[in-house]
């Protein structure tokens, strides 16, 4: 998410008004994992505000509301899913995709529900699926999931929590991440031309740095194959996340010919345009 007030004066201009963080954020990085829609539907006016603040080259990857994925478990949700897509329609090309993040209890026995939802889901934008049930990470469960995703052109979200769980955390935020994030095997293969990686770092900075370094070769391979990967960087307190993301992108520019750099961030002192709001 982008509305991190702790970033103001550190990563975002010091005079960024509350509620306007998206304007400088989208001119510092080129994508965001839209976590807010998982917890509640935004009012239409909020969606319109996002459309007005985001840089035209920016992309949102929104999570589908948990009322659809967790409460209803993808059963009888066609109308709710269509309404969610309609709500985001004013964003147009700013939406890079929608993610169905499924609960750990959603396993291979539920695969038919996922198949039906993806078959009927509005194809305005790309779809991805994040699973957390252990049986989806190997054997028949993984093969069944891959068949469904490939049939509908949906991507499996790659969740990397290796750095997070490598060493016992030392902060409250780190312990909270240990409590809430799943310990799942790392599957680093792409099913489509738009792979998505969610990298969850540690409150031990060196573990986060080394974990990100391991992704450089894989992302470079995907780019060389003509894929367009998206990497989201998280840490327990997220204070370093923008710097880590920009550093990773800069490293990829050094490794892959023709990869455009990210835009220069707006001055921390606060440019004139941020005061227009």
CATH superfamily of 1-156: Protein of unknown function UPF0759 (3.20.20.410)
> Residues 6 or more apart from 193 whose CB is under 8 A from it?
226, 227, 228
DSSP string, 129-147: EE---GGGGSHHHHHHHHH
- pTM summary value: 0.93
pLDDT at 81: 96
Output the tens digit of pLDDT for each of the chain's 277 residues: 898 999 999 999 999 999 999 999 999 999 999 999 999 999 999 999 999 999 999 999 999 999 999 999 999 999 999 999 999 999 999 999 999 999 999 999 999 999 999 999 999 999 999 999 999 999 999 999 999 999 999 999 999 999 999 999 999 999 999 999 999 999 999 999 999 999 999 999 999 999 999 999 999 999 999 999 999 999 999 999 999 999 999 999 999 999 999 999 999 984 444 443 3
Kindly state the tokens that stand for 122: 């509005």
Q: From CA 82, how far away is CA 80, in angstroms rounded?
A: 5
Q: From CA 266, how far away is CA 21, in angstroms rounded?
A: 12
Of residues 51, 157, 152, 58, the one with CA closest to residue 99: 157
pLDDT at 8: 96
pLDDT at 1: 82
pLDDT at 277: 39
pLDDT at 271: 46
Radius of gyration of the chain (CA): 19
Kindly state the tokens that stand for 63: 């999570």
The CATH 3.20.20.410 portion of the chain extends over: 1-156
């Amino acid at each position: 998410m982008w509305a991190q007030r702790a970033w103001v004066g550190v990563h975002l201009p010091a005079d960024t008004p509350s509620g306007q963080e998206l304007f400088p954020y989208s001119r510092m990085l080129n994508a965001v994992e839209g976590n807010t829609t998982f917890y509640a539907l935004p009012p239409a006016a909020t969606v319109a505000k996002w459309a007005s603040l985001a840089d035209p080259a920016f992309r949102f990857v929104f999570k589908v509301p948990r009322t659809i994925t967790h409460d209803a478990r993808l059963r009888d949700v066609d109308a709710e899913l269509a309404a969610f897509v309609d709500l985001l329609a004013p964003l147009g090309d700013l939406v890079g995709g929608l993610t169905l993040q499924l609960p750990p209890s959603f396993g291979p026995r539920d695969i038919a529900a996922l198949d039906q939802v993806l078959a009927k889901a509005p194809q305005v934008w790309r779809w991805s699926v994040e699973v957390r049930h252990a049986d989806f990470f190997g054997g028949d469960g993984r093969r069944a999931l891959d068949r469904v995703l490939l049939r509908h052109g949906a991507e499996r979200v790659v969740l990397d929590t290796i750095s997070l769980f490598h060493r016992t955390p030392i902060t409250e935020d780190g312990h909270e991440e240990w409590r809430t994030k799943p310990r799942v095997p790392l599957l680093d293969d792409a099913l489509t031309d738009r792979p998505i990686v969610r990298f969850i770092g540690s409150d031990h900075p060196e573990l986060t740095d080394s974990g990100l370094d391991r992704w450089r070769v894989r992302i470079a391979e995907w780019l060389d194959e003509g894929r367009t990967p998206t990497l989201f960087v998280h840490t327990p307190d997220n204070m370093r996340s923008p710097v880590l993301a920009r550093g990773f992108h800069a490293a990829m520019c050094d490794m892959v010919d023709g990869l455009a750099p990210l835009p220069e961030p707006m001055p921390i002192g606060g440019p004139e345009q941020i005061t227009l709001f």
